[in-house]
Structure 1
Amino acid sequence: MTMNSTVKNINATFTNKNNFCIGLILSISSSVFIGSSFVLKKMSLIRIGRRGHLRAGAGGFGYLTDWMWWFGLLTMGVGEMFNFAAYMFAPASLITPLGALSVLVSALLASKFLNGNLNNIEKMGCLLCVLGSTILVLHLPKEEQTQTLHELFSRIQNPVFIDFMNVELLVCFTIFCYFGTFHGTKHATVYLMLCSIVGSITVIACKGLGLAIKNIAGGDLQDFQNIWVSLVLLLIVIVCICIQMNYLNKALDLFSTSVVTPIYYVLFTTLTIIASAIVFEEWKNMSDINIVGAICGFFVTVIATFLLNMFKDNNKSVVNET
């Protein structure tokens, strides 16, 4: 019994490390594609504005006629697919903060295709972004705490999570009905807050969908009996992504990437970490050192995103660019 237990523990440890590496590689690949898509979409929106089409920020959909926007959308789709796959192998609390690497990719590409050379502050931001991401990888949980879809459902029934979701939905409804109409064109945070809230919901839904696919692939017949749940989760993911795409386009059209990228990263990552912490409770198995290290790593990446974007030479609205 002791030998069998030892072998099982070794196999479990190897599997966890293997899954962690796969999730990490997928997350980094996702950041490359998503970061590239920001710049491609921005370039497309600038081109569309110059052609005299109704701007996306004013409710126009002229970008749908531009091949570059569709290429950017395809690039983001590939990135989101990698990101979705990463959630199947690694904890959400690890995958989400690594989105800072997409900010790094976006800044590097934007400096070449939109704004010129990186200044010294932006170069410092690049170094801090890599440093912060490395700290996060070293200190955040590397093992999944939720293995089945049914376990996830029991976790989301947590009253704290339900209250958190109610607050998020109330904020979304308020932005959609009032703040988006009257303040969305003046303050980037309005549309980006809506995108971030919907994004945090998407992450939880993606996690559930990933667990369902993983369990079904492993031969869990019980999940076949609840296949409709997986379809509902898929529908939620699709709807949420469509909402994010619409309002992110509005924000990108009205404000420069130097404003949109860092604010979106900070809001989305913060809300997702809070939601994941409530649902998965991965922090309970973290040591005090790892908790402090993860917090420090997150703040380093936050500082890096602002250094990468907030000190650009042309930190202006697209309205002034076109």
Structure 2
Amino acid sequence: MEQITVDGQAYDNASFLIGLSLAVSSSLFIGSSFIIKKVALKKISASGNVRASAGGFAYLKQWLWWLGFLSMGLGEAANLLAYAFAPAALVTPLGALSVLVSAVLASKFLKEHLNFIGKIGCFLCIVGSVLIVIHSPKSEEVKSFRELTTKLSDYQFLTYMATIVFLCLIVKVIFVPRYGNQNIAVYLLLCSAIGSLTVVFCKAVALGIKETIAGHANNLTHYMFWLLLVTSIICIMIQMNYLNKSLDIFNTSVVSPVYYVMFTVLVIIASGILFREWENMAIIDILGCLCGFLVVMTAIFMLNTFKDVQMTFRDLNLNARRRQSTLDVESNSNFLNTIRNGRPA
């Protein structure tokens, strides 16, 4: 069977295609889940129930919201499985497709139209994220559940966890009451920070289940497995709560790219700390990551600053023509004045 080599690792064609299909389907499910949840939240708001952004939990009684939740769960599961079949250098950048999926569906079903600057911002989000992913350290292969749990107890990762918890507490206590309903980054920062821990814990749980089913080890009797499972569920609940608040307040076409960028960056940081690949990064990769961060920050600034500006590509052409007409009139006027004054043109 023919093989494909990526980053020194060999992947057969069948595994590569399976991983590619899972990665694409993951983006479709996750991108769709944003729209389905937004539709559910709009129905709840229209029915007079307390909105999610105001602390209400009426969405738990809405079947459409659960459909969106299931869609996101299937997307995340497909994404985790994709890493087992295809290289991370392929799987992670394809997550940017969820941004495009949500933008297209939001325009179709929610009548949320991005202006021309917003579309450029979405494109820059994808470019910046792909740059970060391409040049970021790739996760090493973890061969056993016990090996991963040992890495989770490393002091550097424990420091990262403590930093995330402390950061979330500060944002929750200080920034949420003041800026939660005004700045899109507040709720999404909480969601993404907790989400970076969720991914790590879910990978550990998935590895434990995989080993148990394969008969290599009975991880169901290991207390660490159940601790990670409970922690994963708690993190997912917190993550979904703040994502709902953000979707309830802000435009889906803006929430999706900003969430994708924040989530991807923090997951890469968590993975880098857990597996320590940053120590062996080349200079070109460090520069690539820095360039990616700058592109991402520019894109987020554009999305937030110009989200309410009504501008299309046709408006840009019209403004350019008006400016050119003004310049032509001024040029002709100067030419006539020169002739009248008797000076050579």
- Sort the TM-score into its range (normalised by shorter chain): 0.7 to 0.9
Could you tell me how far 1:275 is from its partner in structure 2? 1.2
Q: 2:10 aligns with which of 3, 8, 14?
A: 14
Q: TM-score under structure 2 normalisation?
A: 0.72
Q: TM-score under structure 1 normalisation?
A: 0.76
Check the 8 A contact 2:11/2:85 in 1, yes or no: no
Report matched runs for 1:75-114 at 5 Å: 75-89=71-85, 98-114=94-110
Return closer, same or farther for 1:189/1:127 CA change in 2, 3 Å cut-off: closer
Separation in 1, partners of 2:128, 2:211? 33
CA RMSD in angstroms comes to: 3.7
SS of residue paired to 2:166: helix
Amino acid at match of 1:172: C
Q: 1:62 aligns with which of 58, 62, 69?
A: 58
Q: Which residue does 1:238 correspond to in 2?
A: 233
Separation in 2, partners of 1:144, 1:263? 27
Q: Which has the higher contact order (CA 8 A, sep 6+)?
A: 1
Q: Which residue does 1:197 correspond to in 2?
A: 193
Could you tell me how far 1:281 is from its partner in structure 2? 2.1
Return closer, same or farther for 1:161/1:220 CA change in 2, 3 Å cut-off: same
Could you tell me how far 1:34 is from its partner in structure 2? 0.9
Return closer, same or farther for 1:51/1:197 CA change in 2, 3 Å cut-off: same
Could you give the per-residue CA deviations for residues 151-171 of structure 1, whole angstroms, max 9, x where no partner exists?
Answer: 222323332222221111122
Q: Which residue does 1:171 correspond to in 2?
A: 167
Q: 1:33 aligns with which of 20, 29, 47?
A: 29
Q: Which residue does 1:319 correspond to in 2?
A: none
Amino acid at match of 1:196: S
Return closer, same or farther for 1:123/1:187 CA change in 2, 3 Å cut-off: closer
Q: Which residue does 2:275 correspond to in 1?
A: 280
Check the 8 A contact 1:266/1:302 in 2, yes or no: no
Check the 8 A contact 1:195/1:248 in 2, yes or no: yes
Return closer, same or farther for 1:85/1:51 CA change in 2, 3 Å cut-off: same
Separation in 1, partners of 2:261, 2:180? 18
Check the 8 A contact 1:209/1:230 in 2, yes or no: yes
Separation in 2, partners of 1:204, 1:31? 19
Percent sequence identity over aligned pairs: 50
Amino acid at match of 2:232: V
Q: Which residue does 2:38 correspond to in 1?
A: 42
Check the 8 A contact 1:96/1:273 in 2, yes or no: no
Q: Which residue does 1:4 correspond to in 2?
A: none
Return closer, same or farther for 1:167/1:216 CA change in 2, 3 Å cut-off: same
The count of aligned residue pairs is 304
Q: Which residue does 2:184 correspond to in 1?
A: 188
Amino acid at match of 2:204: G
Q: Which residue does 2:211 correspond to in 1?
A: 215
Separation in 1, partners of 2:245, 2:252? 12
SS of residue paired to 2:49: coil
Q: Which residue does 2:334 correspond to in 1?
A: none
Return closer, same or farther for 1:304/1:241 CA change in 2, 3 Å cut-off: same
- Indicate whether 1:115 and 2:115 are aligned: no
Could you tell me how far 1:126 is from its partner in structure 2? 5.8
Could you tell me how far 1:202 is from its partner in structure 2? 0.3
Check the 8 A contact 1:104/1:129 in 2, yes or no: no
Return closer, same or farther for 1:299/1:88 CA change in 2, 3 Å cut-off: farther
Return closer, same or farther for 1:92/1:191 CA change in 2, 3 Å cut-off: farther
